[in-house]
């Protein structure tokens, strides 16, 4: 008889570029999201949750990252209905495009201006890389329907408050503000007749973070040989044109007034440039009365991320402390949030210009920063484990565990095969249990329980001499009715109270 | 010149079957999820968040609802890489299939048994209907890797605790437990030689909720004419075969012991049936010691939902209070949660039998129930609105609002065009603001502020005589430095303290 071929087993794998989050990875993030939501809410923002799925038509093509042209969305076509071909649907790639759709759809019912916050996963159909996933969280706040710079200033202040709320102290972060209109002014100055390749200039400016002022100057003019020896062609600006761009990029001074006058110089007679500088000045003035001093929120034209996407003010929050990278070198942690003012998103739907400004906080980056600084990520204690000596008394063990849970203690009864007691303690170890409860026939009879302090036990096992072991027992016999009190004592002694 | 055709504007619409959630719709749900998470966590369950996207291969076809054969998933194919065709990916349709994949993938790192909880949206590519959406939340807890009935009993107890935690008092819910093995025993009794159409019998039993005992008997035997006059063919069992099925479905007695003996009678000599009854007896015994009395958690063979999907115990939680339906008729609110024991999900990946048991709480249904009972959904107060009388003093208004926020008050400055003061109060009304702060030139000079109690103001405007209006002013002038205190007083007076 021929062998019957079995259907091969499915592979138990996350799709490429996706991952699973376990335990504290989930709870730390959800804690951070609720901290940020609390600040957003205090600022008067309303929660909005749109679905993960939008029509491709509604989403449009507004991906903010100019340097990833291959980036796309996950999309599929609905089944046809009769003759009518199905709509194309896609997973949202950010929370801003859905906001524009929601505002256009519900604008008659929403207040104007509409302050809203949203948090949740977004999806990008791009090549995954180390630490770069195709699903990640965004945590946004936007104000739709006002062109007042007070909205922009408010969002910068709120961003600073959020960072402090999640545990980044003042001094460890900087919110930096630039303005696309100032750049437009600069371009007007050097390219009054629109003959230059402005996209190429924009892409070059975007490299300022990586190659610095000298590098940008080379790339704007004659070209540059990079570290690998490869030669990158320049954009062929004249030196005096490059001067103006560099005057813009390096306008930052310690004194905001000086930064602004540097910018006024760079934009010369350009009306849009002057408008941009005025906006920055307004933001600075609006914040000055509120203790958001320079050093905390700064006008800083070296912020280039997002300049290609936003149409007015552009913000970025950077963490300024140093961490050690994977090779042990010190480096600044860098950007954790970005935002700015954008137009046109709602207009696509309604034809009406609706100004909007918003910010997006990268919670996964922020969590990584807090981990890197050791501010979160101490291992969470697991549940107290009630071990099982006699499987026929399972109801009694469950009654014990119910009593602990009703007292608010995190606890569970061992549900595996109880035959091998060692396995039960190994399980408690894997769960990082702070304590185990042990009740055998003798204990049932005497109405007592054994309580084992597993944290102390582990410490003793590691370090103690025999003498110390005797003096500091880690297992206690207590009357049955003192179990909860004893466990509370052990938790408190281990800083878990 | 020919008219240039414009690209038509995109439609601002959610895709069919999807919806947006605003304000308290979002925050009430996230509050409920965190309440349930707290209970799950106290029971020792660990959070897990897998991605929304899985390979179609890993998801398999395990949709729990037997009566919706058209139900599907949202799926798409990845781009090919060279000659290799892209994988098919899909949005998860529940949280159980991803759990099976996660457990198979990470089983060497996970504790056994593995208790995990997960909450998040799932997607079904099915025809949307009234109140039925293609994206909805699930909130699951499962224990993988133990066949102990203590796991099943624990999940029933936890389900009861969750319902009480979110605000369903004892007496307003019932957790009911049935067992697929008992049904298998019944089938063995009436169909020892496997000649009957068991799927048809199962589908008929599934209608027990709708057509009752007599209806099921008709459908199991000669057929039934429904309310519309249509005749539905019967399954052609003999009356004595139908007797056994009905003995199973109606075995419930007030006394659990009697229920169990009724079931033993129904399964006769069937070994699997006896096993099923033993399991139910164990669950009842395990819970008896913990005050989960009959009436709170019951053995009830009339629970038929999920019998086709689960392989052992099956649970359902029903809310037992009456609500008025859309036509004003009283009816029981019904099911808000289901679960049970399932096998084979992990085995698909590893070849090894891994027993598992879990529960899924329908948070959207639960929220609807709490709304129907008026237990949540009082309109949330909006932010205090600081109005703008003089746009040149925006920085001063922002300083006021910053002071309020720093004092923990939810507040915002009006960001629209301040010209029309009436619009500012209309905005405050739309936001359901409890109070407005008004500062004009006189107030700036005198270092005072006007505070308007908008809730009291609205009440007065509705009801009061002129006399009352004079006696109960709703607007107060207070020194600038007493603003926060006055606002706190107003919030407290309106029960918002």
Which of B10, B87, B431 is the closest to A57 by Cβ? B10
B51 with B176, same domain: the answer is yes
Residues A226-234, mean pLDDT to the nearest whole number: 90
B471 with B335, same domain: the answer is no
H or E segment and range at residue B177 = strand B173-179
Most confident stretch, A58-62, A307-311, A364-368, B482-486: B482-486
Which of B148, B349, B395 is the closest to A415 by Cβ? B148
What pLDDT score does A28 carry? 95
pLDDT tens readout for residues B116-164: 999 999 999 988 888 789 999 999 999 999 999 999 999 999 999 999 9
Residues B13-17, mean pLDDT to the nearest whole number: 94
pLDDT tens readout for residues A209-224: 889 999 999 999 999 9
A466-475, B79-88, B114-123, B371-380: range with lowest mean pLDDT: A466-475
Residues B308-329, mean pLDDT to the nearest whole number: 88
For residues B240 and B71, the model is more confident at B240
- Hey, are the CB atoms on A43 and B412 less than 8 Å from each other? yes
H or E segment and range at residue B426 = helix B421-430
CB A416 within 8 A of CB A476: no
Identify from A47, A88, A159 which residue to disrupt to test chain B contact, counting B C-beta atoms within 10 A and taking the largest count: A47
Residues B108-118, mean pLDDT to the nearest whole number: 96
A413 with A355, same domain: the answer is no
- Partner residues linked to A21 by β-bridges: B49
Please check whether residue B55 touches A, CB under 8 A.
yes
A209 with A68, same domain: the answer is yes
**Distance, CA of A439 to CA of A388 (rounded, Å):** 7
B348 with B436, same domain: the answer is no
A320: CB partners within 8 A, 6+ apart: A171, A172, A173, A174, A332, A333
**Distance, CA of A80 to CA of B446 (rounded, Å):** 69
CB A285 within 8 A of CB B394: no
Q: How far is B319 from chain A (nearest CA, A)?
A: 23
What pLDDT score does A69 carry? 38
What pLDDT score does A70 carry? 41
- Residue B394: list chain A partners with CB under 8 A: 148, 150, 286
User: Does residue B430 form part of some domain?
Assistant: yes
pLDDT tens readout for residues B366-386: 999 999 888 887 667 899 999
A403 with A325, same domain: the answer is no
Which of B75, B411, B427 is the closest to A111 by Cβ? B427
B256 with B182, same domain: the answer is yes
User: Does residue A38 form part of some domain?
Assistant: yes
- Residue B427: list chain A partners with CB under 8 A: 111-112
**Distance, CA of A97 to CA of A101 (rounded, Å):** 6
B402 with B314, same domain: the answer is no
Does the pLDDT value for residue B66 go beyond 50? Answer: no
pLDDT tens readout for residues A8-39: 889 999 999 999 999 999 999 999 999 999 99
CB B478 within 8 A of CB B448: yes
Give the B window 126-145 contacts with A, CB below 8 Å.
Answer: 134-135, 143, 145
| Max CA distance (Å), chain B | 97
- CATH, residue A418: 3.40.50.800
Q: What values do phi and psi take at B89, rounded to 5?
A: -115, 160
- Hey, are the CB atoms on B15 and A104 less than 8 Å from each other? no
Interior angle at CA B247, CA B241 and CA B253, nearest 5: 180
pLDDT tens readout for residues A161-173: 999 999 999 999 9
Please check whether residue A62 touches B, CB under 8 A.
no
User: Does residue A5 form part of some domain?
Assistant: no
Q: Provide the Cα torsion B155, B161, B166, B171; round to 10°.
A: 110
- Mean of the per-residue pLDDT values of chain A: 90
- Single out the residue in A323, A346, A372 at which a domain terminates: A372
What pLDDT score does B401 carry? 96
Instruction: Give Cα A376 distance to the centre of its chain.
Output: 15
pLDDT tens readout for residues B169-182: 999 999 999 999 99
Task: Specify the pTM.
Answer: 0.92
What pLDDT score does A329 carry? 83
- Hey, are the CB atoms on B153 and A398 less than 8 Å from each other? yes
- Residue B99: list chain A partners with CB under 8 A: none
- Residue A287: list chain B partners with CB under 8 A: 398
Residues A362-383, mean pLDDT to the nearest whole number: 86
- Single out the residue in B372, B404, B432 at which a domain terminates: B372
A487: CB partners within 8 A, 6+ apart: A384, A404, A409, A435, A437, A451
Closest residue of chain B to A104, computed from CA coordinates: B12
What pLDDT score does B2 carry? 53
Q: How far is B483 from chain A (nearest CA, A)?
A: 17
Give the B window 216-275 contacts with A, CB below 8 Å.
Answer: none
A264 with A323, same domain: the answer is yes
Q: How far is B116 from chain A (nearest CA, A)?
A: 9
Q: How far is B24 from chain A (nearest CA, A)?
A: 7
Please check whether residue B89 touches A, CB under 8 A.
yes
User: Does residue A58 form part of some domain?
Assistant: yes
pLDDT tens readout for residues B246-304: 999 999 999 999 999 999 999 999 999 999 999 999 999 999 878 888 889 999 999 98
- CATH, residue B230: 3.30.930.10
Q: How far is A211 from chain B (nearest CA, A)?
A: 33
pLDDT tens readout for residues A241-285: 999 999 999 999 999 999 999 999 999 999 999 999 999 999 999
**Distance, CA of B128 to CA of B140 (rounded, Å):** 23
Does the pLDDT value for residue B185 go beyond 80? Answer: yes
Report the percent of chain B where pLDDT is more than 90.
71
- Single out the residue in A312, A347, A372 at which a domain terminates: A372
- Hey, are the CB atoms on A41 and B410 less than 8 Å from each other? yes
B348 with B219, same domain: the answer is yes
Q: What values do phi and psi take at B415, rounded to 5?
A: -105, -5
For residues A188 and A495, the model is more confident at A188
A363 with A389, same domain: the answer is no
User: Does residue A474 form part of some domain?
Assistant: yes
Q: Could you tell me the two tokens for B447?
A: 């270092």
What pLDDT score does B308 carry? 85
A57 with A138, same domain: the answer is yes
- Length of chain A as a residue count: 497
What pLDDT score does A123 carry? 95
H or E segment and range at residue B99 = helix B96-106
User: Does residue B8 form part of some domain?
Assistant: no
- Residue A9: list chain B partners with CB under 8 A: 348-351
- Hey, are the CB atoms on A101 and B9 less than 8 Å from each other? no
- CB neighbour burial string for B24-34, b if at least 16 within 10 angstroms, e if fewer: bbbbbbbebbe
Q: How far is B305 from chain A (nearest CA, A)?
A: 27
Domain total for chain A?
2
CB B125 within 8 A of CB B71: yes
Q: How many CB pairs under 8 A join A and B?
A: 289
pLDDT tens readout for residues B305-315: 888 889 999 99
- Residue A154: list chain B partners with CB under 8 A: 398, 412-413, 415
- CB neighbour burial string for A310-320, b if at least 16 within 10 angstroms, e if fewer: bbbbbbbbbbe
**Distance, CA of B24 to CA of A441 (rounded, Å):** 53
What pLDDT score does A5 carry? 56
What pLDDT score does B67 carry? 43
Q: Could you tell me the two tokens for A235?
A: 């954009």
Please check whether residue A99 touches B, CB under 8 A.
no
What pLDDT score does A67 carry? 43
Which of B34, B57, B111 is the closest to A11 by Cβ? B57
Does the pLDDT value for residue B468 go beyond 70? Answer: no
Please check whether residue A81 touches B, CB under 8 A.
no
- Mean of the per-residue pLDDT values of chain B: 90
Residue A463 to residues A453, A466, A468, Cα–Cα distance (Å): 16, 10, 9
User: Does residue A353 form part of some domain?
Assistant: yes
Confidence of residue B68 (pLDDT cuts 50, 70, 90): very low
- Residue B411: list chain A partners with CB under 8 A: 42, 44
Give the B window 409-448 contacts with A, CB below 8 Å.
Answer: 409-413, 415-416, 427, 430-431
Give which of A169, A70, A92, A74 is closest to A137, Cα–Cα. Answer: A92
Domain that holds residue B392: 384-493
Which of A161, A289, A402 is the closest to B290 by Cβ? A402
CB B44 within 8 A of CB A410: yes
Name the 3-class secondary structure at B419.
Answer: coil
User: Does residue A49 form part of some domain?
Assistant: yes
pLDDT tens readout for residues A136-154: 999 999 999 999 999 999 9
CA Rg value for chain A: 30
Q: What is the ipTM of this complex?
A: 0.91
Which of B13, B150, B410 is the closest to A105 by Cβ? B13
Closest residue of chain A to B37, computed from CA coordinates: A27
Identify from B6, B29, B40, B42 which residue to disrupt to test chain A contact, counting A C-beta atoms within 10 A and taking the largest count: B42
């Amino acid at each position: 008889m021929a062998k019957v071929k079995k259907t091969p087993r499915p592979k138990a794998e996350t799709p490429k570029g996706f991952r699973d989050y376990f335990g504290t990875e989930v709870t730390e993030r959800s804690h951070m999201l609720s901290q940020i939501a609390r600040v957003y809410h205090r600022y008067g923002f309303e929660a909005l949750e749109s679905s993960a799925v939008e029509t491709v038509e509604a989403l449009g093509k507004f991906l903010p990252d100019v340097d990833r042209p291959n980036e796309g969305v996950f999309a599929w076509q609905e089944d046809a209905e009769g003759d009518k071909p199905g709509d194309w649907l896609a997973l949202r790639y950010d929370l801003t495009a859905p906001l524009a759709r929601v505002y256009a759809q519900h604008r008659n019912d929403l207040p104007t201006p509409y302050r809203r916050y949203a948090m949740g996963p977004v999806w990008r159909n791009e090549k995954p890389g180390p630490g770069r996933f195709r699903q990640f969280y965004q945590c946004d706040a936007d104000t739709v329907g006002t062109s007042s710079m007070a909205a922009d200033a408010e969002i910068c202040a709120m961003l600073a408050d959020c960072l402090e709320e999640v545990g980044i102290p003042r001094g460890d972060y900087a919110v930096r503000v630039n303005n696309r209109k100032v750049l437009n002014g600069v371009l007007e100055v050097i390219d009054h007749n629109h003959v230059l390749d402005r996209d190429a200039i924009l892409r070059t400016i975007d490299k300022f973070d990586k190659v610095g002022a000298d590098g940008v100057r080379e790339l704007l003019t004659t070209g540059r040989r990079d570290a690998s020896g490869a030669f990158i062609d320049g954009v062929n600006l004249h030196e005096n044109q490059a001067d103006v761009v560099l005057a813009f990029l390096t306008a930052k001074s310690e004194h905001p007034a000086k930064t602004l006058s540097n910018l006024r110089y760079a934009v010369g007679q350009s009306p849009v440039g002057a408008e941009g500088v005025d906006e920055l000045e307004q933001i600075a003035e609006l914040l000055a009365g509120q203790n958001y001093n320079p050093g905390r929120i700064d006008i800083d034209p070296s912020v280039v991320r997002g300049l290609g996407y936003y149409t007015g003010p552009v913000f970025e929050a950077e963490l300024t402390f140093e961490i050690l990278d994977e090779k042990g070198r010190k480096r600044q942690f860098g950007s954790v949030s970005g935002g700015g003012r954008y137009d046109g998103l709602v207009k696509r739907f309604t034809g009406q210009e609706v100004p909007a400004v918003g910010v997006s906080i990268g919670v996964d980056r922020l969590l990584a920063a807090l981990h890197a600084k050791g501010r979160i990520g101490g291992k969470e204690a697991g549940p107290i484990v009630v071990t099982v000596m006699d499987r026929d008394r399972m109801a009694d063990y469950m009654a014990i565990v119910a009593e602990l849970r009703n007292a608010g203690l995190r606890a569970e009864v061992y549900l595996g095969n109880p035959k091998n007691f060692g396995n039960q303690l190994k399980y408690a170890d894997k769960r990082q249990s702070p304590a185990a409860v042990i009740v055998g026939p003798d204990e049932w009879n005497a109405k007592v329980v054994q309580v084992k302090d597993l944290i102390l036990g582990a410490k003793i096992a590691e370090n103690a001499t025999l003498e110390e072991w005797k003096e500091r027992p880690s297992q206690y016999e207590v009357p049955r009715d003192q179990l909860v009190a004893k466990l509370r004592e052990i938790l408190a002694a281990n800083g878990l109270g």
